[in-house]
Amino acid sequence: MTICDRRIDPGDTARRLFHPAWTMVIVAALALIAAGSFTTMAGLVTQPLVDSKGWSRTAIGVGVGINMVLYGAVAPFAAAAMDRHGLRRVTVAALGLLVAGSLLVTTVMPGEFFFVLWWGLLVGVGTGSITMVFGAMVATRWFRSKIGLATGLLTAAGVAGQFAMLPLLSVVLSHTGWRGPALVCGALAMVALICVPVFLKDSPHAIGVLRYGATDGGDDGAVPPEHRVGNPFRRTVAVLLMLLRDKRFWLLASMFALCGATTNGLMWSHFTPAAHDHGMAATTASGLLAIIGLTNIIGTVGAGWLSDRIEPRILLALFFLGRGAALALLPILFASNLNPSLITFAVAFGILDVATVPPTLALCRHYFADNGAPAFGWVNVFHQLGAGSMGLLGGLIRDLDGSYTPVWITGSAACLVAALLGVTVSRIHLPAA
């Protein structure tokens, strides 16, 4: 019997006072927070870049759009690379790209092309490698029980990086200019880059323990041998080719592209510049985005609970209609100062923001069975394609019209189309025969 074949005594793991799985959650959460901080920073620094460098919002939107597309497109391939080369190696490489991107953006950016190169490509690949696909892999490899709790914690970490960091970054922006937030994000990525090689392990098998809650001596989270030696990229593409021939995939992909356009595509890139147009300080706008980020968690947990009881098509229609109504009202609600109406908008939009994910996941599992997880990964690629397109389109509309109002109305109309697509999906909670 080789070391790879040996069975681990469950009692050895049970006797540990603190299971190492929780250490993995902490380290993975740090990486997700670091990567997440980059994803929403572009909206914060758009106006300062326009003011200091004289660039158009359209030019900045190209870099932001490429970044968003790569954020989604890289994730399935990064997951395959993590199977082949290990979680730790791929995560270290991704964090290295983020650190390099932060330094290059602040030191070597004489023109718009370099913003597209450093922010669009370099940071886009880095953030795309550390998404919730990464969080799901950590949770699956390290947890047999409480996997939902682990996944929830890692999701919260990603949200915290995306939105909860914005108030701090806006304060830094007000004192140092646009380079300050980029350097803060780079410093956070550097901290994660130091911790990940030391503490993050590829699986319980690597350190001779079982997954958290496991009772079977062979349940050590090891990657199957065929995944370690095969071509995971080929398998990833094979799943995509299968999905492209399925009209149900195109239904979900189209709906989720509109979802991405009306969430990430709007809030990551255009909320702060639009608030600036109404005289609102960046710190105030960032505070509203932080509220959206925190209420995301409530919406996601609630939507997951509802998805077990109510048909996804009903939930999707309600969520998209609610989001569309909120976006249509936003131009009326904007003001220079914080007010109860804007806080109400932030809470409502935050609850609806990520609430579409659990019912869409349920549909992927229902439609594609064992391929449900990779199918959702590819559906999420279209989510980011929609986000990237809106990132570019929103900047173009603002440059041409001089106002963000048409952007919010366009987003509201997109939500209506998404709601119509949502009601056409299949029922999954069929009564027992």
DSSP assignment letter at 160? I
d(CA 268, CA 379): 20
Instruction: Name the region of 131 (left: φ>0; alpha: ψ -120 to 50; beta: rest).
Output: beta
Helical ranges in 108-246 per DSSP H: 112-115, 124-129, 132-142, 147-159, 166-176, 179-199, 225-229, 232-244
d(CA 180, CA 202): 34
Half-sphere exposure of 168 (CA within 13 A, CB side): 12
To which residue do tokens 């997880």 refer?
Answer: 373
Instruction: Give Cα separations from 244 to 188, 238, 250, 381 (angstroms).
Output: 38, 10, 7, 13
- What domains are defined for the chain? 1-230 (1.20.1250.20), 238-426 (1.20.1250.20)
> Of 171, 172, 154, which is closest to residue 287 (Cα–Cα)?
171
DSSP assignment letter at 335? -
Nearest 5°: phi and psi at 109? -145, 70
**What angle do the packed helices 87-107 and 132-142 form, to 10 degrees?**
150
338 near 289, Cβ under 8 Å?
no
Half-sphere exposure of 46 (CA within 13 A, CB side): 32
- Classified as helix, coil or strand, 425 is coil
- Classified as helix, coil or strand, 403 is coil
355 near 301, Cβ under 8 Å?
no
d(CA 126, CA 78): 10
- Classified as helix, coil or strand, 39 is helix
**Bridge partner residues of 143 (DSSP):** 212
Residues 6 or more apart whose CB falls under 8 angstroms from that of 114 comprise 104, 108
Per-residue pLDDT of the chain (433 residues; tens, 9 = 90+): 444 444 555 545 444 557 899 999 999 999 999 999 998 888 788 888 888 888 888 888 888 888 888 888 888 888 888 888 889 999 999 999 999 999 999 998 888 889 989 999 999 999 999 987 788 788 878 887 776 677 767 877 887 788 778 888 888 998 888 899 999 999 999 999 999 999 999 888 888 888 888 776 666 666 666 656 667 778 788 889 999 999 999 999 999 999 999 998 888 778 988 998 999 988 888 889 889 888 887 887 777 778 777 888 899 999 999 999 999 999 999 988 889 999 999 999 999 988 888 888 778 878 887 677 677 788 888 988 898 889 889 989 988 888 899 999 999 999 999 999 988 887 766 554 4
The pair of structure tokens assigned to 264 is: 């990430």
Q: Kind and range of the H or E element at 352?
A: helix 340-353
36 near 158, Cβ under 8 Å?
yes
To which residue do tokens 């710190």 refer?
Answer: 283
d(CA 40, CA 254): 23
Q: Kind and range of the H or E element at 431?
A: none
5 near 163, Cβ under 8 Å?
no
CA 115 to chain centre: 21
pLDDT in tens, 229-264: 667 778 788 889 999 999 999 999 999 999 999 998
d(CA 330, CA 341): 9
